[in-house]
Structure 1
Amino acid sequence: MFVFFSFGLFSLVAQSNEITVSGTVIESGTNMPVEFATILIADSSTKKAKAGATTNENGKFNLTTTASNFYIEISFIGFTTQTITDFIIENNGIDLGTVTLSENTAELDEVVVQAEKSQTVFKLDKRVFNVGTDLSSTGASTLEILNNVPSVNVNIEGQISLRGSTGVQILINGKPSVLASEESNALGSITADMLEKIEVITNPSAKYDASGTSGIINIVLKKSEKKGLNGSVTLNTGIPNNHSIGLSLNRRTEKFNLFSQIGYGRRTFPRESETASLDKSTGTTLTTIGDSDKNEKFFNIILGTDYHINDLNVITLSGHYAFEDETEHAFQNYDFTDDTQMLTDAWNRNELTTATNPKWEYELQYKKDFKGTKDHNLLFSALGTSFGKDKISNFTNTTTVGTIENSLQEAHTEFVQNEYTFKLDYTHPFAKKYKLEVGAQYVIDDVNNDYEVRDFENNVWQTNTDYSNVFDYNQGVLGLYTTFAFEEEKWGVKGGLRIEDTNLKTILANTNEKNNQKYTNLFPSFHTSYKLTDDVSLQAGYSKRIFRPRLWSLNPFVSFRDNFNLSTGNPNLNPEFTDSFEITSIFKFNGGSLNLGVYHRATEDVIEHITTFEDNVTISKPSNIGTNNATGIELNAKYTPISWLTFTTDFNYNTFKRKGLFESNNFDFSGNRWSSKLTGKIKLPADFTVEATGGYRSKYKNVQSEVTDNLFMNIGVRKKMMKGRLNASLSVRDVFASRNRESITDQVNFYKTSFSQRGRFITLGLSFGFGKGEAMEFSGQKRF
């Protein structure tokens, strides 16, 4: 009884000596609450902590202490610490009221300098490439940045492939967009300083769009939500003619977050090409040598706002406008020789092309978070995109040898594409280990392409009906999905099912040729992971994918730029279907990590371009040619042997077996291809960083041709100044001008070689960050 009495008396005395300290912490200038600020009560003599707490989401705090001689310290990263020694105790309480913290610029800059992200992060079903650590991308376009992403390749024509396959679905912020389509040539209008990260999803779950037999590349744009007024300015200049300026601004208040990005520039893209076609039946050869300079002025702007209705509900409204004004001069020289290699005919073809390309994107998004459970939310978005092209090309054919008559031609394109995406996603975690996802998506794609070619005959422009028509394309895809996941500390599993209904209609208006397709398909997916140790993990996945023929593959118009090297679409194409399997292991070790995986893809109704040859004219047309089975191995590694030196590498090898029959021709063959990339980054004194990337892509076969190998190198240098507020970067892409494309086609009746290259690009970039905005590591350039 005595012990309990003594303890109770002691507790009463202690309680009577308790002092409650309370208040609210806000940010100077914006008066926004500072969440997670640290409140410390320390002994005035020993400076030792006696009690502590952090502020809540409203900036409020409340804590108690029994100390008698103390001071109060309030701090948060990036702000000047407040030390309070003068306070009044009333009724065992101290009310500090509102405490204002001011930004500590020096401290904030130190955090920015040191908190550099890892370049590539591996997750269960995707890899995330954090834009901003790759120095050689200074002044680069989005497509050029993709060339530095593991497993991704963009050839000189701008065609994207993943693990050697071109069946890739490109998303922007997780949704289909005209701005990411090949038809709009628009990825270049998304400047590099607008990118947050690039996600590579080789085996997507059922939550994602089923398009893309080789996987999905998701381009995530930046949207700052830092409090107050923040931003950055970027400036680029380079050789060949490459000049641009960009501005990023963000203003965050308690209810609104306003964000914008603006870019303007002009640049030139040179190109050299050479082809030679031998007619084996006659021995005649046609050689073409050409060069061109494409000059562009471009402008793009993103404007948007988040309205925080309350802590659980947010509405976002955003718009993106891009405009390009193009002028291109091209010159081609044709030499025609007989079977004795004697020149019989020669002529020049001069081209002047002008085009305007307006692009629009607008989105309304609503997100609702639910109380009690993290990641329990409902997300709805309505996205509209539009792309237009008004293009006029004038051709002058001048004979220099032989009797071919001089001629004039022109081509006019009026192209309009509208795409609308409606998406609803619901995520519900429960019981800590389980997660349910359900959702729906409807995508409408509507295109009108009016194409007319005219010949100047008898002093009158006459329409060439063989090359002129109006092509209408309309596709609607409805998708429904559900996934269910279980995850504990060492083991996780996720399964899902997606159903997609496709309705496609095309028509050639002038000739009333119609093609309608309607099909419904199921797309299951399965992923699992197991953590053997803290440093060793295993992952496995399966998904079924579809590759729907894209617009230009269906469009039967014949290209008219080169009369002897033509290409056309095929409105009767069927979609490809792929079963994709993958097993990956992840190893972490002192100073680095290693990702090693094997994969297998089985594809039906493979789409290939078949080239036919007649009278020295080659025509390329896509067709469904049999099946393809590809098995490969992939390795990604990062190693930092010492603090100032880092190596990253990417290696991919696959072997494939083709089976196909087309118009009584057997297209069975097998082959392999591999690619490798090595990057070294060195941090030097005085805040200098140097980075060099070398890459190699082996030769490989396709249905009719062999594409030669390719070796290239990029170099970048960066200097940080003003504690990271100002960055200066120099990049040299394709240092030795060796990144080209060369193919050889050897068939029964003809032999053809083709070569093209872009050359070296040198760019100097400057970036300055203000407010809490960080200086960009590089800034933007448009694609080819």
Structure 2
Amino acid sequence: MKKLLLLTFILGLFFTAQAQFTGGGFGGGPKKSTVTGRITATILDSLTKKPIDYATISLVNTKDNKSVNGGVTDEKGKLTLQNVSPDSYKLMIGFMGYKTKSVLVTTTPSKPDNNMGTIYISSSENTLADVQVQGTKAVIENKIDRMVYNAEADGTNAGGDATDVMRKVPMLSVDVDGNVQLRGGAVRVLINGKPSGTMASSVADALKMIPAEQIKSVEVITSPSAKYDAEGSGGIINIITKKSNAQGVSGTVNASAGTRQNNGAFNLTAKTGRLSVNASLGTNLAYAQDSRVLFENSTRTDTIGKTTITNIMQDGVSKWSRKGYNGSFGVDYDFNAYNNVSSNIKYNNFSNGGPGSADYVLNGVPFKNISDMDMGFNNFDWNVDYKHTTKKEGEEFTISGQLSSGRNTTDFQNEIIGSSFPAVNNNNTGKNQEYTIQTDYTYPFSKSTILEVGAKGIFRNINSEFSNNANQDFEYKQDVASAYGVISFKLSKKLNFKGGLRSEYTSIDFNTVNPGIQKNNYFNIFPSAIISQTLKGNATLKLSYNRRVQRPSLAYLNPFRNESDQFNIRQGEPTLSPELSDNLELGYSTFIKGSVINASVFYRRTGGVIESSITPLKENGFEKTLSTYINVGVAQTYGANVFASYNPKPKWTLMTNLGVNTYEVSNTQTGLSTGTFLNYNIFGRSAYGFGKGYNFELFGVVNSPRRTYQGKTDAMVFYGASFKKDILNKKGSIGINTLNPFTRDLHIKTVNNSVTTLGNKTSTLYQSTNIYYPLRSFGVNFSYSFGKLKFTEKKKIKNDDVKQDQQQGGMGGVQQ
């Protein structure tokens, strides 16, 4: 009944709004024609008559001298600018080593398309500062509200998965298990603007399911407006996969083979008239490799007149493998110029695990542990979207629905030879059902004043079933109703403002045997505001504020006891509260003679920070360790980020990113204070084109030691290279790549300390883990594109509201 009332409220509110707004919105007014066309041209060298590939084009309105569109030429020097409104423009053409050329172009409602034919540009030592010029296709783009990493332009990604791609995205840090943070804060990961039910279990595992060859780009949104769901204390990451909406038939084929894993990806688009169909298939297989773990656990228990010390030493090897596949199918149809409907289904299947063995020494007594663990994930997503536009340019109404159904299993066996410990054999099945309905409306009062409003309902049902102990079964229901309003306008000629308010009501019911049914309902308001100032030299200064939330997902909540290691038991905590954070950021970006510089400083205050916690646990006369999650306290984070790109030569691009932030957590009730520590992340890349289709790239990433309230994880270093040759008239390529070629293993050491006092007993726990993670790899790759690709963007549902598993990259062992 509660869901029905929420749904009725949302639909009633916005169908009423739509009825009021139809025919001109607030107060009516003249409607501007939305007839749009395209501008095409071919850019050639004036002397050699050869095409200029990757020349940068900017379409500037002659009335206000502002850029309204732009693009980059392809390998044949051809350019197509879509969705151009009838008007008078200047076509600004720039490329390093050539004079910037300006060409006047006009389109009209009766003739919206304009083929400019061939345009010649001549070489020069100079370039204009207002045109971004790069010798190779831009890997990084800076936009007003996000930074975009174009993964398809980075040859070093071939043969990897989404985790490898994330390691090279500016401002992100990725640990050895694949857990992602954005400037030290938790993130919400979307795929094509939508959530995936697979992410509800573990982001780290879900990222390993996506071959790198399927990723077109990654968007990093540090200052989301109130239009976005409020999830993600650090911000939002949106992974855009390869697809197209081209007339005719087009597609891509990618394949890679290597010493670490093999990938395959196929994307196909067919479009005729108003109907477009997209399909994709992907698969990956990671070989089983030995991962070594050295573990030391020491517990000291002090009571009045008595001290007990328990030491556990472990030296073990796990042989884990991974395999997975995914597919999607989408249909898009335009009924007419104002009504569009689209639908997409997506399926993912992924499994990993394998056998392991370890030699233990418990208080000087040796024994051996034999284990085997398998985890499986599969998820089905189906969404339907309807969009209605009017003759008034920019006015838009959408309504979307989404169904997500997921299932994950954990199955482990554990036997300790040479001891009295009983063998353990257990499995857990988690099920996640999610239903979403969303509606949005955009009304432009003018070109610079735009109102956006919307509402959304999310209904989640999570069940966790235990095979050997039904008393531990877990049921969790979460309903979220939200509404938002955003207004953007000009404060002056060069000063822009965008601000909004989002409200979210969360209703939670969960059921455990002890203490039974519980409720946790809360209401939050999330404001956001951004002011941007255009400076001389095409520079921009930006100040933003927003409030965000992190709700714990199934991996944090599930009370299932994972005893794949009987001395280190892991389980979730269903009573966790959400994190709430306030974010303030000041950013600056500019272009200087083809170089890009983006710098920012920020402050974030997060209450109710969720972190992993270890405590001593005594069962059956043995000292063990229990790992779970708790709300630690309040974190205050100060940080800065600098990104720069420079072209020493037309075909040579240098790129770097440096991010630093502080870590400090305090809790006045418990007296906890970690002190202040500095984290940093460094990324560097060099790409050079030798001509005739030969390209070489190098990259390196350094992540600083990572702090938690109980301990520290050592720094991590990744580096790699690729060499690629264009073939088949630049429609295909072959290449080789490597990751960490000079060291087989990545050595990561983690140390945790815990002190627990209960009555007259104090327990001190010291835990040290050394992981030797097999990272070195060599591989070959092939890619081929057919047809002419033209990418479009559709509005989709975005459930950005659940904190994902940032600590758990696979339970019970080290993953590759």
TM-score, with length taken from structure 1: 0.78
Q: Structure 2 residue aligned with 1:599, among 599, 602, 605?
A: 602
Distance of 1:395 and 1:474 partners within structure 2: 32
Residue among 428, 442, 452 paired with 1:413 = 428
Partner of 1:109: none
Residue of structure 2 equivalent to 1:19: none
Query: Taking structure 1 as reference, are residues 525 and 428 closer, same or farther at Cα in structure 2, changes over 3 Å only?
Result: same
Match of 2:223 in 1: 203
Q: Spell out, residue by residue over 1:3-34, the C-alpha distance to the aligned partner (whole angstroms, 9 max, x if none).
A: xxxxxxxxxxxxxxxxxxxxxxxxxxxxxxx9
Shift of 1:746: 3.8
> Does 2:640 align with 1:636?
no
Q: Aligned-pair distance for 1:326?
A: 4.3
- Residue 499 of structure 1 corresponds to which residue in structure 2? 503
Work out the CA distance in 2 between the residues paired with 1:327 and 1:623: 27
**Counterpart mapping for 1:262-661 below 5 A:** 262-270=281-289, 271-280=291-300, 282-326=308-352, 328-337=354-363, 344-373=364-393, 375-399=394-418, 404-405=419-420, 407-453=422-468, 469-487=472-490, 490-508=494-512, 510-511=513-514, 513-614=516-617, 615-661=622-668
- The superposition leaves residues 704-759 of structure 1 with CA deviations (integer Å, 9 ceiling, x where unpaired) of 11222222212222211122211113222233346443211245523221122242
Give CA deviations for 1:323-348 in whole Å, capped at 9, x if unaligned: 235452222221224xxxxxx32222
Partner of residue 702, structure 1: 708
Q: Distance in 2 between matches of 1:591 and 1:432?
A: 29
Could you report, residue by residue, the CA deviation over 1:239-292 in whole angstroms, capped at 9, with x for unpaired residues? 13x233322111110021011001234322533322111234545421122222
Q: Is the 8 A contact 1:660 1:668 kept in 2?
A: no
Q: Mind listing any 5+ residue stretches in structure 1 that lack a counterpart?
A: 1-33, 41-74, 80-100, 105-113, 338-343, 454-462, 776-781
**Match for 1:353: what amino acid?**
M
- 2:769 corresponds to 1:754: yes
Per the alignment, residue 250 of structure 2 pairs with 230
Alignment-mate amino acid for residue 228 of structure 1: G
State the 1:611 CA deviation: 1.6
| 1:279–1:143 distance in 2 versus 1, CA, 3 Å | same
CA distance in 2, matches of 1:254, 1:194: 26
Percent identical: 25
Q: 1:535-587: CA deviations, max 9, x gaps?
A: 32100100011111222222222221111122222222111111100000112
SS of 1:723 mapped into structure 2: coil
Aligned in 2, Cα 1:551/1:38: closer, same or farther, shift over 3 Å?
Answer: closer
Q: Structure 1 pair 759/588, CA: closer, same or farther in 2 (3 Å)? A: same
Are residue 136 (structure 1) and residue 131 (structure 2) matched? no
Change (3 A) 1:506 1:477: same
1:743 aligned residue: 750
Q: 1:180–1:186: 8 Å Cα contact kept in structure 2? A: yes
Question: Partners of 1:214 and 1:39 in 2: how far apart?
Answer: 41
Corresponding residue for residue 783 of structure 2? 767
* Aligned residue number for residue 17 of structure 1: none
Contact in 1 for aligned 2:40/2:79 (Cα 8 Å): no
Does the residue aligned with 1:763 lie in a helix, a strand or coil? strand
Question: Is contact 1:277-1:616 (8 Å) kept?
Answer: no
Deviation of residue 191 (structure 1)?
Answer: 2.9
Distance in 1 between the 2:448 and 2:714 partners? 50
Question: Distance between the aligned counterparts of 1:76 and 1:267, measured in 2?
Answer: 39
Name the amino acid aligned to 1:388: R
Most deviating of 756-765 and 671-680: 756-765
**What is the aligned counterpart of 2:190 among 158, 171, 190?**
171
User: Aligned in 2, Cα 1:289/1:227: closer, same or farther, shift over 3 Å?
Assistant: same
Q: Secondary structure at the match of 1:164?
A: coil
> Per the alignment, in what secondary structure is the counterpart of residue 669 of structure 1?
coil
Contact 1:625 1:661 in 2 (8 A): no
Which fold has the larger relative contact order, with Cα–Cα distance below 8 Å and residues 6 or more apart in sequence? 2
Deviations 1:451-483 (A, max 9, x none): 245xxxxxxxxx6x8xx6111111111110010
Describe the SS at the equivalent of 1:718: strand
Q: Tell me how far apart the structure 1 counterparts of residues 554 and 370 of structure 2 sit (CA, whole Å).
A: 28
Whole-angstrom CA distance in 2 between matches of 1:78 and 1:356: 45
Separation in structure 1 between the aligned mates of residue 332 and residue 510 of structure 2, nearest angstrom: 39
* Distance of 2:693 and 2:374 partners within structure 1: 45
Q: 1:77 to 1:711 in 2, by over 3 A?
A: closer
Q: CA contact under 8 A between 1:413 and 1:450: conserved in structure 2?
A: yes
Q: 2:581 touches 2:606 (CA, 8 Å); kept in 1?
A: yes
Q: 2:639 corresponds to which letter in structure 1?
A: G
In the alignment, is the contact (CA less than 8 A) between 1:286 and 1:616 conserved in 2?
no
Matching residue of 2:29: none
* Count of equivalent residues: 652
2:158/2:213 contact within 8 Å kept? no
Q: Does the C-alpha gap of structure 1 residues 665 and 513 become closer, same or farther in structure 2, counting only changes over 3 Å?
A: farther
2:152 is paired with a residue whose SS is coil
Contact persistence 1:696–1:711 (CA under 8 A): yes
Shift of 1:38: 7.4
Give CA deviations for 1:386-436 in whole Å, capped at 9, x if unaligned. 11124432223222xxxx237432112222111222221212223221111
**Counterpart secondary structure, 1:563:** coil
- Contact 2:136–2:651 under 8 Å retained in 1: no
Cα 1:433–1:119 shift into 2, 3 Å: same
Aligned equivalents of 2:262 and 2:450: distance in 1? 48
- In structure 1, C-alpha distance between the alignment counterparts of 2:722 and 2:524, rounded to whole Å: 47
Measured after TM superposition, the shift of residue 36 of structure 1 is: 4.4
**Partners of 2:625 and 2:41 in 1: CA distance:** 76
Runs of 4+ in structure 1 deviating by more than 6 angstroms, as ranges, are: 37-40
User: Are 1:713 and 1:733, in contact at CA under 8 Å, matched by a contact in 2?
Assistant: yes
Counterpart-to-counterpart distance in 1, 2:528 and 2:681: 28
TM-score by length of 2: 0.75
Give the Cα separation in 2 of the matches to 1:149 and 1:307.
34
Specify the structure having the higher radius of gyration (Cα): 1
Question: Is the aligned partner of 1:693 residue 2:699?
Answer: yes
* Distance in 1, Cα, partners of 2:143 & 2:765: 48
C-alpha distance after superposition, 1:349-383 (max 9, x if no partner): 2223345432111110111222231x322222111
Question: Once the 2 structures are TM-superposed, how far is the Cα of residue 316 of structure 1 from its aligned partner?
Answer: 0.6
2:318/2:354 contact within 8 Å kept: yes
Query: Alpha carbons of 1:380 and 1:251: their partners in 2 closer, same or farther (altered >3 Å)?
Result: same
- Asked if the contact 1:232/1:773 (under 8 Å) is kept, the reply is no
RMSD across aligned C-alpha pairs, in angstroms? 2.9
AA in 1 matched with 2:254 = T
Residues 294 and 314 in structure 2, CA contact (< 8 A), matched pair in contact too: yes
What residue ranges of structure 2 are gaps of 5+ in the alignment? Answer: 1-35, 43-75, 81-114, 119-133, 301-306, 756-763, 792-809
Task: Give distance in 2, aligned partners of 1:248 and 1:255.
Answer: 20
- Partner of 2:672 in structure 1? 666
